[in-house]
Structure 1
Amino acid sequence: MSLSDAKLTGEEARKLSSEELANFNQIACAMNEAQEQVKAYSSTLKKRYPELRLKSFAVVALGFERLCWREINFDDV
């Protein structure tokens, strides 16, 4: 996601805590979309490689300044 989409400057994005950043509506929407993609990919990987203990993460990049991420458990999909 671009900084302009989030209506932030690079300096503002760097100053925000992870929780504050995650509460931005645009970032929360992008994270929900990423989480849905992870769920789809995770179920396919789990079926193909049941013996592996893979971890999955939903990640949203805010320009080149920040990353928001959330671990998604295979048990949740």
Structure 2
Amino acid sequence: MKIKHIIVLFIVVLNLAACSNGENPKEYLGEIYSIGLDSIMQKDDNLSSDLKYIAIDMSNFDELKEKDKNEILSFFKEKYKV
């Protein structure tokens, strides 16, 4: 049981150390959202087969700048050819 606690503690400490490298995650929001949305598309082959259109409602993406929104749209245009 002690080993499990040590492993969990090690993982938590490792994650905290990795997250404190001085990078601002808000600079990469377009990329983060693109990866997240794309992972949903990959969950079901029926979602990503024979596509003509992809609708992404960005009305609640308050943190995103226009540059980030365009990055997301460009990602999907290039990857899915829509």
TM-score by length of 1: 0.38
Higher helix share: 2
Higher strand share: 1
Larger Rg: 2
TM-score by length of 2: 0.36
